[in-house]
Amino acid sequence: MTSHLTDELAQAYVDRALPDAERARCAEHLAACQDCGLVVESYRALAAALDGLDAPAPPAGFTAGVMARIDLTQRERAFDRRLALGILGVATCLALALFALAGSAGWAPVLSGATEAFARAARAAAVTADVAAPLLRALRLQIALGCAALALPLLLALSRLVPRTAAAPA
């Protein structure tokens, strides 16, 4: 190992959380580096001091309070799901009733128009695919588009993890 141990590596060495090969490299480095040896000894002293401390007991009723909050959250979510399914069921029944009341003369033209619009869209998609496929193969755009389709949501999610800084007043 040519560089000094990082804090994380020194802590993992003290906690015996390193794989054998990494632990051997650290031990070899510690034998030659007094500075890293001091860091490891400080972490050992800290671990020994913390081992002697008693863990504080949780307040009375802590577990019961947490379990009650979990139960309340689950009941609220179950109610929301039942409400959403009820609204969906009522909307479906209402739509079916309106179709039945309108009769075939009322909804047949709408259904026919929707079918024709879907057929036109399918034909347009097929023609577009026939024209665009050779172009995409030639330019290898599908690779770039696939990478963008995967990277953009990932970058958006990661950007939400970046802490926001307040703008300085002018």
Q: Residues 24-42: pLDDT tens digits?
A: 999 999 999 999 999 999 9
- Residue 141 pLDDT > 70: no
CA distance 60 to 55: 15
Same domain, 74 and 17: no
For residues 37 and 105, state if they share a domain. no
Same domain, 47 and 119: no
| Other beta carbons within 10 Å of 61 | 9
- Assess whether 79 and 46 both reside in one domain: no
Domain check: are 47 and 85 in the same one? no
Range of the domain at 99: 64-159
Q: Classify residue 71: in a domain, yes or no.
A: yes
In a domain, 59, yes or no: no
My answer on whether 39 and 83 are in the same domain is: no
121 shares a domain with 89: yes
CA distance 146 to 136: 12
Query: What pLDDT, in 10s, does the model give residues 75-121?
Result: 999 999 999 999 999 999 998 888 788 777 777 787 788 899 999 99
d(C-alpha 15, C-alpha 23), whole Å? 11
| CA distance linking residue 17 with residue 59, whole number of Å | 32
The answer as to whether 57 is a domain residue is no
